[in-house]
Structure 1
Amino acid sequence: MDLNSIGGIALAFVAIVGGQILEGGHVGSLLQLAAFCIVAGGTIGAVLLQSPMKIFINGIKMSAWVFYPPEFSPQNLIKQIVNWSHISRKEGLLALESYVSTVKDPFTKKGLQLLADGSTPEKLREILEIDILALETHQRQSAKIWEAAGGYAPTIGILGAVLGLIHVMENLSDPSILGTGIAVAFVATIYGVGLANLIFLPIANKLKSIINEHVTMHELLVDGFVAIANGENPRFIENRLKGYFV
Structure 2
Amino acid sequence: MHMNDPALASMLPFDTMGLYEQPRPKFIFKMPRVVPDQKAKFESDELFRRLSREGEVRFTGFRDRPQDERVVRFQNSCREGHTEIAFAATGTNLQLIFTPPTTAYTPDKECDFDKEPGKVHLKASFIMNGVCVRWRGYIDLERLDGVGCVEFNEEKAAQEDALLREQIERYNQRLREFEDKQRGYRQERPDEIELRMTNNIHGHHGHHGGVTSRCHGPPRGERRLT
TM-score in terms of structure 2 length: 0.33
Greater fraction of residues in helix = 1
In our comparison, the structure showing a higher alpha carbon Rg is 2
Greater fraction of residues in strand = 2
Higher relative contact order (CA 8 A, sep 6+): 1
TM-score in terms of structure 1 length: 0.31
